[in-house]
């Protein structure tokens, strides 16, 4: 006897989504611990506690799984950055800027799997690397727009899109470098790094304003 569709399908769909999520989370953990090059269907399914045959019920191949892992990480990071921006009320408040930098840096110490994938995999020649590079490109674009808005609020000169884009590039580069130093254990004092990042960003703003006179 065929089961009623309204009873069977919801349970099946929920179970399938749960299994796919387990595979994606396992892939993220494996990439973080061993690198994207070491990822295999065996390592992913073993970490997820599933049979290897179950992998192909959710993904065509390993690249599709890598892409799903990357997009999940990118989604979480974008949400975090949106929340941080929503909390920012005063563009010229250096204490607030330092708090924002601290929150971002703490991702590298408390939720290392998220930024670690960006830092380690942004040069990977796969859908994983593509997603990480797209995330960074989006962050730079949004940051450049935020800088233009902040300069306007503070009465600083409008540097124009090209210079704001370069400034955003420099800031993102500094944050990545600082985060990588935390991941590698070369630096441990998050508060100190956050303050130095704020000083550097403020210095860039002052220098830009001075050079535009």
pLDDT of 117: 74
- DSSP single-letter state for residue 123: T
The ranges of the chain with pLDDT < 70 are: 1-14, 88-92, 111-114, 205, 208-213
Q: Please, which residues have CB within 8 angstroms of residue 141's CB and are 6 or more apart in sequence?
A: 165, 168
The C-alpha atoms of residue 118 and residue 129 are separated, in whole angstroms, by 8
Q: Percentage of residues in the chain with pLDDT exceeding 70?
A: 86
Give residue-wise pLDDT tens across range 83-97: 777 776 666 677 888
pLDDT of 75: 85
Q: What kind of fold does domain 70-211 have according to CATH?
A: Tetracycline Repressor; domain 2 (1.10.357)
Domain residue ranges of the chain, discontinuous segments joined by +: 1-59, 70-211
Helices (H), 49-186: 62-87, 94-110, 113-121, 127-154, 161-184
The C-alpha atoms of residue 97 and residue 103 are separated, in whole angstroms, by 10
R_g of the chain computed on alpha carbons: 21
pLDDT of 1: 36
SS3 91: coil
The C-alpha atoms of residue 175 and residue 158 are separated, in whole angstroms, by 24
Helix axis angle, 127-154 to 113-121, nearest 10° = 100
Structure tokens at 110: 């408390």
Average predicted confidence (pLDDT) for the chain: 79
Decide: 105 and 193 in contact? Cβ < 8 Å: yes
Length of the chain: 213
* CATH code for the structural domain at 1-59: 1.10.10.60
- Judge whether 1-59 and 70-211 match in fold: no
């Amino acid at each position: 006897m065929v089961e009623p569709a309204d009873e069977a399908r919801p349970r099946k769909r929920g179970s399938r989504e749960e299994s796919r999520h387990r595979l994606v989370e396992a892939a993220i953990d494996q990439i973080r611990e061993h690198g994207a090059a070491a990822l295999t269907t065996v390592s992913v399914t073993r970490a997820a506690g599933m049979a290897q045959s179950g992998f192909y019920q959710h993904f065509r191949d390993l690249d599709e799984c890598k892409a799903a892992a990357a997009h999940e990480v990118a989604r979480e990071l974008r949400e975090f950055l949106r929340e941080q921006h929503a909390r920012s009320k005063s563009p010229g408040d250096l204490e607030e800027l330092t708090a924002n930098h601290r929150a971002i840096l703490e991702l590298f110490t408390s939720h290392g799997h998220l930024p670690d994938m960006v830092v380690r995999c942004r040069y990977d020649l796969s859908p994983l690397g593509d997603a990480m590079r797209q995330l960074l490109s989006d962050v730079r674009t949004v940051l450049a727009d935020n800088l233009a808005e902040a300069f306007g609020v503070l009465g600083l000169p409008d540097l124009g899109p090209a210079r704001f884009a370069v400034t955003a590039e420099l800031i993102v580069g500094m944050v990545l470098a600082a985060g990588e130093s935390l991941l590698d254990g070369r630096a441990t004092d998050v508060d100190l790094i956050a303050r130095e990042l704020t000083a550097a960003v403020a210095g860039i703003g002052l220098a830009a304003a001075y050079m535009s006179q």
